[in-house]
Structure 1
Amino acid sequence: MNDLVAPSALRPVRTAARCAVAALALAGAAWVARALWQVRLSASGLPAYGLPDQGNGRHRPPTALEDAYHVVSTLGDVVTVLCAITFLVWLSRVRDNARALSGRPPRYAWPWVYAGWIVPVANLWVPRGIVADVHRASAPGERLPRSVNWWWGLWLAGMVSGVGLMYTSSTDNVIARAYENVQLLLVADAAVVGAALAAIFVVRDLTKAQQ
């Protein structure tokens, strides 16, 4: 089927892929920076005046190190949003191309390209399903790249840990976790960084299949 589709019928994806790869690399670096600051917080030890969140809506002034972590965390959030946008732009384009190549409608309707990440329970498999569907349509008969399963497994590990792109803990709560049990935070950070690196290979593999 691929040979029957004129190149002009396909949306250009190379630039979108490069942007997505760059954003994923930045996101991975941002989470490495968070991890380093969490190690520094743990090494410094809990201040004598207690955790940042004192309970009952009371917060003490942050230390210089805690203040720096807030900055690192905020910059990481900005990079993460940029990463999400560029990845979704790329995914939307390769999905459209996959439909043109196969001549069949995608398994998941277009709203799921976005809603699949935020709808509870469905977000456990829909995004991977969309990526797998794109690969099947772009390279029929070829085995799904291992990078897809590595990416999705690590993404789920980071998400359920509470510090992935879907995390809802406040920065002060993360700081408290760094003081109390930094090991679990670092394991979760490693999963997120690994997912970002694996996603780079996912982008490269699917883009290559459509060139």
Structure 2
Amino acid sequence: MTHAPMSAPVPPGPAPVRVLRSPVGLSHAVTVLLGLVIVADLLIIAASFNMRALTGRVASGGAGVLGEAEVNRADYAMFGSGVLYSIALVATGTLFIIWFHRVRGNAGVFAPDTQRRTPGWAIGSWFVPIANLWIPRGVAADVLRASQADPYAGELQHRGLLNAWWGAWVWAVVFDRYASRTYARAEDVEAVHEAAALVMTSAGFDIVAAVLALLLVRRLTAAQHTKALAPR
């Protein structure tokens, strides 16, 4: 019985080379879409203010001066602004995560030993229930550290902006769910009047979160761009 000759073990190939990829173009696109989110929020505020004015007139006994067309316009304004916001939010969230993954990849080139989680967490962490309330913030903190001039310095630059953005975003998400459900369940005039105020307030919180997100995107992108161009 003959045996086939044993082949020599194949040496492992070279480790993949990590390269920097510019986040500048993505940051510009994210900035534009965040601006669209803010515009949609402003439209929601205007529609909610109009709805409160209309329901206030009804509650005060001025319903006789209201026409069906006016009521329909108020409903369409609430619905239309909500649809525009949803579209803008999905588009912005998608592009923001792509940008987030890009800057996380660059952080792995700048200072890989400062990254506590793999690049996949820059995407997956947003979709893990409960854990998405803190893991993305941790990934962002690691990316910020790797992107600063001295990743091993004790102080983390822009920590205040990071914490403000994350706190505002979590609060805006939680309050928006409460306000949206309250408005959807409102049946009488008084309930709609009060719920519209919650929707208006929720849009205000969302504007704050969007502005802080915009500032974070710009500053982190600028930090990585500056570090990539710095002589080594």
Same fold (TM over 0.5): yes
Which structure has the larger Rg over C-alpha atoms? 2
Unmatched runs of 5 consecutive residues or more in structure 2? 1-17, 59-70, 226-232
Contact between 1:41 and 1:175, CA under 8 Å: does it hold in 2? no
Which residue in the other structure is 1:144 paired with? 157
The one-letter amino acid of 1:14's match is: V
Distance 1:186 1:170, change over 3 A: closer
More helix by share: 2
For residues 69 and 122 of structure 1, the distance between their equivalents in structure 2, rounded to whole angstroms, comes to: 32
Which residue in the other structure is 2:50 paired with? 40
Deviation at 1:188, TM superposition (A): 2.2
Structure 1 position 96 matched with structure 2 position 109? no
Which residue among 122, 130, 136 is the counterpart of 1:121? Answer: 130
Deviation at 1:46, TM superposition (A): 6.9
For residues 44 and 197 of structure 1, the distance between their equivalents in structure 2, rounded to whole angstroms, comes to: 30
The one-letter amino acid of 1:143's match is: L
CA-based RMSD: 2.8
Structure 1 position 69 matched with structure 2 position 69? no
Secondary structure of the residue aligned to 1:25 is helix
The one-letter amino acid of 2:157's match is: L
For residues 178 and 144 of structure 1, the distance between their equivalents in structure 2, rounded to whole angstroms, comes to: 45
Contact between 1:66 and 1:175, CA under 8 Å: does it hold in 2? no
Distance 1:187 1:10, change over 3 A: same
Contact between 1:178 and 1:185, CA under 8 Å: does it hold in 2? no
For residues 183 and 68 of structure 1, the distance between their equivalents in structure 2, rounded to whole angstroms, comes to: 15
Which residue among 75, 90, 113 is the counterpart of 1:81? Answer: 90
Which residue among 195, 207, 215 is the counterpart of 1:201? Answer: 215
- The count of residues paired between Structure 1 and Structure 2 equals 189
Distance 1:183 1:69, change over 3 A: closer
For residues 197 and 81 of structure 2, the distance between their equivalents in structure 1, rounded to whole angstroms, comes to: 19
The alignment-based identity, stated in percent, is 28
Which residue in the other structure is 1:154 paired with? 168
Task: Report the TM-score, using the length of structure 1 for normalisation.
Answer: 0.78
Distance 1:86 1:173, change over 3 A: farther
Contact between 1:34 and 1:69, CA under 8 Å: does it hold in 2? yes
Deviation at 1:11, TM superposition (A): 0.4
**Greater mean alpha carbon deviation, residues 12-21 or residues 171-180:** 171-180
